Amino acid sequence: MLFNSDTPLKYKEPLFRPPSEADSLVLQISYGCPHNKCLFCPMYKGVRHEIRPLTDILSEIDKVSLKRIETSRIFLADADVMDIEFSYLKSVFEKLNSCFPNLSRISMYANGSSINNKSAEELTVLKNLKLHTLYMGLESGDEKLLQLVKKDETADNMIKAVIKTQHSGIRMCVFALLGLGGKKYSEQHAINTAIAVNKMNPKFFAVLRFIKVPGLRMYEGYETITEYDSIQELYRIIEHLELSSTVFRADHTSIPIPISARFPKDKQTLLTYLSTLLKSSSLDKKSAGILPDSL
């Protein structure tokens, strides 16, 4: 158990948050992931999923507000906080609103099923209590691949969840993983991911690159794609995207070249840039290329 030196918050490692939440106060109301079976994700392996007692959380909020009264952004951890029952979440949100007068946004991870298990009315209540953004891993829009990696979600279910969430006024940030389909499923992974994202039409869409770390066991027959193949896959996704107003990011350290854009206006510029890159000799065609020290 770790303590934040600036606040009385208790943190249990590992602790994750999206890069865009770097300036947010992180409140860890649960430990681990309620699903924790995805083959590609080592984040919470070995961590028993546990929802912290509500009384502990409410007390912690009281204490931290005394030192961080100016807080305007809060991120609730760990994985898929939306899976927690509505009454618990409502109590936490009400407490945060009462203790932080400058609070402008609350964000957290969510999954398709956990969103769909909440009613439209419940989502609206949370939105009115300043739920601002949900981060959801689509990973792939290909149904077969989702089964292979044991995501335990369907693309259709996640599409429904994003539409439902955004209809309530809550923003969605959707993630996909380059390389998840390996060499065999690369093309169908890219095309079906773009198709799913088009149906979602999220406010934010981010692409990361799956890198198989030591000890991680993928599905039978999985072969890591090369650095060149990953950019080709990215090109194919972008080529098939038809979005009305979406901020796009492919700037994680796992991506060979950082990209930040807006759809639809930057689509052709991105395709031209990636096409030039693919024709150059700068990408590794034999291996995954130079990988970051940490992901």
How large is the average pLDDT for residues 163-177? 98
The pLDDT value given to residue 4: 54
**What pLDDT digit, counting tens, does each position of 41-51 carry?**
999 988 999 99
pLDDT for 81 equals 98
DSSP characters over 86-130: HHHHHHHHHHHHHH-TT--EEEEEE-HHHHHTS-HHHHHHHHHTT
Structural domains in the chain (count): 2
Tokens of 128: 């009115």
Interval 250-270 mean pLDDT? 93
Whether 254 has a pLDDT exceeding 90, the answer reads no
Nearest-CA neighbor of 183 among 153, 228, 136, 117? 228
CA distance 14 to 44: 7
The rounded mean pLDDT for the chain is 95
pLDDT for the residue 7: 65
| Domain stops at, among 52, 77, 110 | 110
Average pLDDT score over residue span 237-254 = 95
- 149 & 271 share domain: yes
Which pLDDT score, from 0 to 100, does residue 143 have?
98
Q: Give domain status of residue 273, yes or no.
A: yes
Contact 76, 27 (CB under 8 A): yes
119 occurs within a structural domain: no
What's the domain range around 206? 135-284
% of the chain beyond a pLDDT of 90: 88
Q: Tell me, yes or no, whether 183 lies in a domain.
A: yes
pLDDT of residue 73: 98
Instruction: State pTM to two decimals.
Output: 0.94
CB 171 within 8 A of CB 132: yes
Residue among 105, 124, 111 nearest 83 (CA): 111
Q: What integer is the mean pLDDT of 260-269? A: 98
Q: CA 295 to CA 138: how far, in whole Å? A: 19
In terms of domains, do 139 and 278 share one?
Answer: yes
Q: Which two tokens stand for residue 279?
A: 């024709």
Distance CA 128, CA 240 (A): 35
Residue 3 phi, psi (nearest 5): -115, 140
Quick check: is 130 in a domain?
no
Looking at the chain, the whole-number percentage of residues with pLDDT higher than 70 is 96
Taking only the tens place, the pLDDT of each residue in 31-70 is 999 999 999 999 998 899 999 999 999 999 999 999 999 9
The token duo for 72 is: 């305007």
- Cα 193 to Cα 97: distance, rounded to the nearest angstrom: 37
Q: Is the pLDDT of residue 127 over 70?
A: yes
Domain assignment of residue 128, yes or no: no
Query: Which of 93, 110, 127 is a domain's end point?
Result: 110
